[in-house]
Chain A
Amino acid sequence: MAERTNEAWVADLRGPGREQALADLRDFLVRGLGYAMADRPSVTEADVEDFAQEALMKIVDNLDSFRGESRFTTWAQKIAVRVAFTELRRKRWKDVSLQDLITRYDGVDFTPVVLTDPDASPEQRAGQQAMMDIVQRLITEELTDRQRQALTAVMIGGMSTEEVARRMGTNRNALYKLLHDARQKLKQQMTAEGLSIQDVLSAFA
């Protein structure tokens, strides 16, 4: 691939050099994604080609938003990675129901969560269990339904923020803000109840 400056990339993608620049960029994205996805056996070469093709269209459509603060190829690859992961997350979580995941941890008949830490001393185990009880209680009492669902799915269930957002009819950014508000509320209460970072570090040492 011909080495280009940022300015040359943008000019070529807009000008008479467009065909060659598109081909070079496509090749660059395919190679990068290929390496980034190497440890994911479910991702085929055809998938990578599709991701690169979709990213290429987004890149061309959004050329104006490239501000030249990084290398052009870094910016372009960033978009390709986002395209790829959006699709991969959809596939990865397709058999998991958000509702099931939430109900597992957030049932109407609230079952206390049991912690299993074979390495913890009895004292640490008691500290951990006390912390779990506070967390469960505050999540139930302090958060709105939506905050509780999002926090349960993402922070407890470990589901992707983007997937949870999609299923809750919002987007990843808005969901992050919702979670941030929820964490702020919980932090305030935890602090009021005397829970400190030091407690966390000693309970899980």
Chain B
Amino acid sequence: MEIEPERLKRIVYGTLTTRPDEIDCDECFEQLDRFVDMVLAGKDAAEAMPLVQDHLDRCGDCREEFEALLAALRAVA
């Protein structure tokens, strides 16, 4: 059985950078519209809302939705 090194790196790195104050998916979803509006306004959303950025870096599902939301709003705005 094989595993790509990139995946192993993500697992170990993601584990070692685990923080006690991470927000969960519900909290991320709750704040996501504000985060996205900041990104669209050209502001540094990651700096203003670091816990949302941290969650998006860790959670594939939330990141996928964030990217889709950004794409949708960039196109219609």
Which residue of the partner chain, among A31, A77, A160, A203, contacts B69 with CB atoms under 8 Å? Answer: A77
**Is B33 an interface residue, CB under 8 A from the partner?**
yes
Asked whether A155 and B72 contact (CB < 8 A) given A115-B3, A184-B18, A197-B17, the answer is: no
Interface size class of B (residues with CB under 8 A): 35 or more
**Is B34 an interface residue, CB under 8 A from the partner?**
yes
Instruction: Across the interface, name the chain B residue whose C-beta is closest to A172.
Output: B25
Q: CB-CB < 8 A to A196: which residues of B?
A: 16
Bound complex: CA A85 to CA B75 (Å): 18
Secondary structure of the B contact surface, majority rule:
helix
Q: How far is the CB of B28 from chain A (nearest CB, A)?
A: 9
Query: How many chain-A residues does the 8 Å CB contact rule pick out?
Result: 58
Q: Are B24 and A156 in contact (CB under 8 A)?
A: no
Which residue of the partner chain, among B11, B25, B65, B76, contacts A155 with CB atoms under 8 Å? Answer: B11
**Is A71 an interface residue, CB under 8 A from the partner?**
yes
Q: CB-CB < 8 A to B22: which residues of A?
A: 180
Bound complex: CA A117 to CA B4 (Å): 7
Q: Are B1 and A161 in contact (CB under 8 A)?
A: no
Q: Are B37 and A187 in contact (CB under 8 A)?
A: no
Asked whether A36 and B68 contact (CB < 8 A) given A78-B29, A180-B18, the answer is: yes
Q: How far is the CB of A60 from chain B (nearest CB, A)?
A: 17
Which residue of the partner chain, among B18, B25, B71, B74, contacts A176 with CB atoms under 8 Å? Answer: B25
**Is B36 an interface residue, CB under 8 A from the partner?**
yes
Bound complex: CA A200 to CA B34 (Å): 34
0/1 string, B24-62, CB within 8 A of A gives 1 = 111001001110110010000000000000000001110
Q: Are B8 and A36 in contact (CB under 8 A)?
A: no
Residue among B17, B72, B74 with max Cβ neighbours from chain A (10 Å)? B72
Q: CB-CB < 8 A to A113: which residues of B?
A: 1-3
Asked whether A183 and B18 contact (CB < 8 A) given A195-B12, A204-B5, the answer is: yes
Given A70-B34, A74-B36, A203-B9, 11 more A-B residue pairs with CB atoms under 8 Å apart are A35-B74, A74-B33, A74-B73, A78-B69, A115-B8, A155-B14, A173-B26, A183-B15, A184-B18, A190-B15, A196-B16
